[in-house]
Amino acid sequence: MSNQKKPKLEELPRCPDCGGNQFVTDPSRGEIICMNCGAVIEEHMIDDGPEWRAFTNEEKGRRARVGSPSTLSLHDKGLSTEIGWEDRDVYGKRLSPQQKATMYRLKRWHTRSRVSSSMDRNLVLAMSELDRLSSQLGLSRNVKETAALIYRSAIERQLIKGRSIEAMIAAAVYAAARLRRVPRTIDEIANNSRVSRKELGRSYRLLVTELQLKIPPPNPVDYIVRFASELRLSGRVTRRAVNLLSKAKAKGLTVGKDPTGLAAAALYIASILEGERRTQREIAETATVTEVTVRNRYKELVKQLDIEVSAF
DNA sequence: AAGACGAAAGTGGTTGA
DNA sequence: TCAACAACTTTCGTCTT
């Protein structure tokens, strides 16, 4: 590749309201929300491409769009596929050094890969399963491509031999979704494939250790947007919930807690506060936790954050 | 009647001796 | 390797709206 990276300073995208540089996106609604103050930054985002029109300079925008659609997830197009060296994730947020290292490693393994016929046969099966799974889960192309990349790397490392393709694909999808910060729960993935939660967990662990994937710790905020849109809650509720969670985080209420449970509780409170009440049951269901967990979390939040109890 | 509540017992995973 | 442990789930009876 002649694309040698020139050292240059790029400005980080900043929230015009509070100057924060952490964002969360809702691809289905086309919104980008500041994780710090909850402001909606961009309302007409197109799909989930790496482009960030409002903040990024022209050059980067051009680069992000160059070339035909990536074909990593087609089993026989791998040889002509290149993995970009873009150092930002789908939100335009800069990748952490760990993530950068991860992507670099994957890229190296990928370019080293040589297609043998048995690998080819494996990939045909694997990629069709990947197609099925990711469309069932409504995953973006980015996530799918990342999963394909992980899977290929796994083959390279001989991790697949003697293990089920389904399990490894499921694990790759789970890892990819988390890597790209659009997490799905283990249950969601397990329910859409024939792999058990347990096996999925095992395979995932294997991938993480063997490929030295650097997966960022789960962030409950990443779940809020998705749950909110599944529950048909307004952007206002979403923002309120995000806000709530960042306060909770500041108070250290979030450590060791199930991120989906936290997201659910924040949404529950926000939905009531904003007059769009949903039942605990509805929320628990879409967050795949129990009502009990929603209750426990929201009790804690209400207590610790001094929320108007009158609303309840 | 539906939703919310909380107690009690059970489960799977992590931690630390 | 095993026991203690925290978080979450399941189940269920009771209270509230």
Angstrom distance, A77 CA to C4 C1': 52
| pLDDT tens by residue, A220-248 | 999 999 999 999 999 999 999 999 999 99
Distance CA A100, CA A88 (A): 9
Angstrom distance, A257 CA to B13 C1': 14
Q: Greatest CA separation found in chain A?
A: 67
The answer to whether residue A78 scores a pLDDT higher than 80 is: no
Strand B close to A108 by CB, under 7 A: no
* Residue A116 three-state SS: coil
Q: What is the pLDDT of residue A135?
A: 92
Q: What is the pLDDT of residue A117?
A: 67
Distance CA A223, CA A221 (A): 5
Kindly list the strands in the beta sheet with A31-34, ordered across the sheet, starting from the edge strand earlier in the chain. A23-26, A31-34, A40-42
Nucleotide closest to residue A294 (CA–C1'): C8
Q: What is the pLDDT of residue A224?
A: 93
| Chain B, protein-covered positions (CB within 7 A) | 2-8, 12-13
Distance CA A28, CA A48 (A): 9
| pLDDT tens by residue, A100-109 | 777 777 766 6
* Residue A77 three-state SS: coil
Angstrom distance, A186 CA to C1 C1': 28
Strand C close to A257 by CB, under 7 A: yes
Model confidence at A253, in pLDDT bands (50, 70, 90)?
confident
Model confidence at A53, in pLDDT bands (50, 70, 90)?
very low
The answer to whether residue A75 scores a pLDDT higher than 80 is: no
- Mean pLDDT score, A82-103: 63
Nucleotide closest to residue A290 (CA–C1'): C9
Strand B close to A295 by CB, under 7 A: yes
- The one-character DSSP state at A79 is G
Angstrom distance, A298 CA to C15 C1': 19
| pLDDT tens by residue, A151-160 | 999 988 888 8
The answer to whether residue A80 scores a pLDDT higher than 70 is: no
Q: List, in order of start, the domains of chain A with CATH numbers.
A: 69-210 (1.10.472.10), 220-311 (1.10.472.10)
Q: What is the pLDDT of residue A275?
A: 92
The answer to whether residue A296 scores a pLDDT higher than 90 is: yes
| pLDDT tens by residue, A158-198 | 888 888 899 999 999 999 999 988 899 988 899 899 888 88
Residues 6 or more apart whose CB falls under 8 angstroms from that of A178 comprise: A215, A216, A218
| Chain C, protein-covered positions (CB within 7 A) | 6-11
Q: What is the pLDDT of residue A110?
A: 62
Strand C close to A280 by CB, under 7 A: no
Strand C close to A220 by CB, under 7 A: no
Query: Which class for A118: exposed (0-12), middle (13-18), buried (19 or more C-beta within 10 A)?
Result: exposed
Q: What is the pLDDT of residue A20?
A: 64
Nucleotide closest to residue A312 (CA–C1'): B4
Strand C close to A258 by CB, under 7 A: yes
Q: What is the pLDDT of residue A279?
A: 95
Nucleotide closest to residue A287 (CA–C1'): C8
Nucleotide closest to residue A296 (CA–C1'): B6
Enter the pTM of the model.
0.71
